[in-house]
């Protein structure tokens, strides 16, 4: 599709605005947000403009998300300190950063570089991977909730899904980022196992408890590309949301823009070269019975760019017979279950049925009356 025609269509006057038509025109290019920027557009198209009340939410740099050093994790005293830090961060913030986590710096840098190169290829090459079919192991698209959201986000995404199996034929990955992605996928699996051990201990459980529940099974990698935005005050890189996962590991480049909500304001999470952002997902809040929190977070749009980030979601075992729910060892008469039992398939189906900024936890939360009668 001719990008100049799409540009003209996207800039039509408000009185002629047909949102569905514009969404289809944008989606039909298979060129993503980067295609719009490359066309020379100087204003944010209306499909990306977010409600004023959302854009006016305050942010601050006065508070700092905890940074946890995982070095010395094999030493008993040091491990106790780390477990306590993980516990407090997971209860109070739902977010923390880790350093000395064991993944080599070159693996992180090469992953970011590979994703950048994928998104900056000729559009004809990327289009081979363009799809909205979530059953595909590898696909490229823009805005997973494009047709359900109030406003589109200023980003494109390459998704690698290992939801049903850790096996992935390297030939399924784009050649330009194949080697770096394969190595990063392997390294995050090891770190995930370590984090679930620490989180289990932080809940007062045995180190292998969450892994035995298959919380560390099933992974999805979303590799985001945020192009520079001509009017960042009108849109978002990623709208406010919580993660549909047990745990997320985020690799971000030096540009920044990730923010977590605490109280009534958003806190910047500054990039740490070699560090990784860890956040609690909805499903871990549910199985921990609200002991840990899945916090709202977002990514602001920026005139600088492109910004690259890679989020690894640990989504659990997807088999229909695998039931999750609040961990029995954490329940008592005083602290009854606050959530219904659920399957990953049920959870994900509900998540993808609506826009990104609609909370998924409420759908599974037990009412007070139901909690009492459990």
pLDDT in tens, 269-309: 999 999 999 999 999 999 999 999 999 999 999 999 899 99
Burial (CB count <10 Å: 0-12, 13-18, 19+), residue 371: middle
d(CA 186, CA 292): 27
Q: Quick one: pLDDT at residue 6? A: 43
Q: Indicate the pairing of strand 276-280 with strand 307-314.
A: unpaired
Q: Quick one: pLDDT at residue 370? A: 53
* Helix (H) and strand (E) counts in the chain: 13, 13
Q: Quick one: pLDDT at residue 263? A: 87
Chain mean position to CA 225: 13
158-161 CB contacts, 8 Å cutoff, 24+ apart: 158/115, 158/118, 158/119, 158/129, 158/222, 158/223, 158/225, 159/220, 159/221, 159/222, 159/223, 160/185, 160/220, 160/221, 160/223, 161/134, 161/136, 161/137, 161/220, 161/221
d(CA 193, CA 125): 35
d(CA 302, CA 273): 19
d(CA 160, CA 267): 29
Q: Quick one: pLDDT at residue 334? A: 92
**Structural tokens at position 54:** 């959302």
CB 323 within 8 A of CB 105: no
Q: Quick one: pLDDT at residue 61? A: 67
Percent of the chain with pLDDT over 90: 81
d(CA 62, CA 266): 10
* Residue 50, domain CATH: 2.60.120.330
d(CA 238, CA 124): 26
Residue 74 scores a pLDDT above 60: yes
Distances (CA, A) of 14 to 148, 161, 299: 20, 39, 27
Q: How far apart are the first and last CA of the chain?
A: 57
Cβ-based neighbour number of residue 282 at 10 Å: 23
CA atoms within 13 A on the CB side of 101: 30
Convert the pLDDT of each residue in 3-17 to its tens digit: 454 445 445 444 467
Q: Quick one: pLDDT at residue 58? A: 67
* Owner of token pair 């004809």: 124
Convert the pLDDT of each residue in 88-147 to its tens digit: 999 999 999 999 999 999 999 999 999 999 999 999 999 999 999 988 999 999 999 999
Q: How many domains does the chain have?
A: 1
Please, what is the average pLDDT of the chain? 91
| Residue among 224, 244, 296, 271 at smallest CA distance from 57 | 296
Task: Give the domain range for residue 314.
Answer: 3-373
Residue 322 scores a pLDDT above 90: yes
């Amino acid at each position: 599709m001719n990008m100049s025609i799409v540009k003209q269509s996207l800039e039509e006057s408000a009185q002629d605005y047909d949102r569905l038509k514009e969404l289809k025109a944008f989606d039909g290019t298979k060129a993503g947000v980067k295609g719009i920027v490359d066309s020379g557009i100087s204003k944010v198209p209306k499909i990306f403009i977010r409600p004023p009340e959302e854009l006016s939410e305050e942010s601050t740099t006065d508070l700092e998300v905890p940074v946890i050093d995982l070095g010395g994790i094999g030493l008993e005293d040091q491990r106790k300190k780390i477990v306590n830090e993980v516990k407090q961060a997971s209860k109070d913030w739902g977010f923390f950063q880790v350093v000395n986590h064991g993944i080599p710096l070159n693996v992180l840098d090469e992953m970011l570089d590979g994703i950048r190169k994928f998104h900056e290829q000729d559009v004809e090459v990327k289009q081979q991977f363009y799809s909205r079919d979530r059953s595909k192991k590898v696909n490229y698209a823009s805005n997973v909730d494009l047709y359900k959201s109030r406003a589109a986000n200023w980003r494109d995404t390459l998704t690698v899904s290992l939801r049903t199996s850790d096996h992935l034929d390297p030939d399924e990955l784009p050649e330009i980022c194949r080697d770096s992605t394969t190595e990063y996928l392997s390294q995050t699996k090891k770190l995930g196992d370590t984090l679930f051990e620490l989180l289990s201990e932080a809940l007062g459980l045995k180190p292998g408890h969450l892994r035995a529940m298959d919380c560390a099974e099933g992974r999805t990698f979303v590799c985001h590309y945020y192009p520079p935005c001509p009017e960042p005050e009108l849109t978002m890189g990623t709208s406010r949301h919580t993660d549909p996962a047990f745990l997320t590991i985020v690799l971000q480049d030096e540009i920044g823009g990730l923010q977590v909500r605490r109280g009534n304001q958003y806190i910047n999470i500054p990039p740490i070269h070699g560090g990784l952002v860890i956040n609690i997902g909805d499903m871990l809040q549910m199985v921990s019975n609200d002991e840990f929190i899945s916090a709202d977070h977002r990514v602001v749009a920026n005139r600088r760019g492109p910004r690259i980030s890679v989020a690894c979601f640990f989504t659990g075992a997807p088999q229909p017979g695998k039931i999750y729910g609040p961990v029995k060892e954490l329940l008592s008469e005083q602290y009854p279950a606050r959530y219904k039992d659920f399957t990953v398939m049920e959870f994900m189906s509900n998540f993808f049925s609506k826009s990104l900024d609609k909370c998924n936890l409420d759908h599974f939360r037990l009412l007070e009356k139901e909690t009492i009668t459990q």
